[in-house]
Amino acid sequence: GAGVSQSPSNKVTEKGKDVELRCDPISGHTALYWYRQSLGQGLEFLIYFQGNSAPDKSGLPSDRFSAERTGGSVSTLTIQRTQQEDSAVYLCASSLGLSGDGEKLFFGSGTQLSVL
């Protein structure tokens, strides 16, 4: 596709339910990031995938959060047993890698998650 695609654009769920957020990166991009954007919290790093390397999961806030990237392309962020404090915009970004313009991240429009 032309850009990074995220789905759904909005998700409303009840506390305690599990949710899955999807990210389709730009074709050929080897790096993929998940961030969380909350009011007053800025852009919080969650997880980073680079090629076939083990992902950097150091930003995941708890073991309720997990992510996978299948075939080096599509990624799914899963939040189990959602809590109200999980409400935020979840942003996905991709890039070519770590050389030249590879450092430039392209962001999706995000998924607005609301936990009631």
Partner 1 sequence: AQSVAQPEDQVNVAEGNPLTVKCTYSVSGNPYLFWYVQYPNRGLQFLLKYITGDNLVKGSYGFEAEFNKSQTSFHLKKPSALVSDSALYFCAVRGLQGGKLIFGQGTELSVKP
Buried b (16+ CB within 10 A) or exposed e, 30-48: bbbbbbbeeeeeeeeebbb
Q: Is 88 in the site for partner 1 (CB under 8 A)?
A: no
Q: Of the listed pieces 9-17, 62-70, 73-81, 107-115, which binds partner 1 according to CB under 8 A?
A: 107-115
Q: Is 10 in the site for partner 1 (CB under 8 A)?
A: no
Closest approach, Cβ 30 to partner 1, in A, equals 12
Q: Is 70 in the site for partner 1 (CB under 8 A)?
A: no
| The length of the chain, given as a count of residues | 116
Element of type H or E holding 48: strand 42-50
Closest approach, Cβ 13 to partner 1, in A, equals 23
Q: Of the listed pieces 17-25, 36-44, 61-69, 75-83, which binds partner 1 according to CB under 8 A?
A: 36-44
* Paired sense of beta strands 111-115 and 10-13, if any: parallel
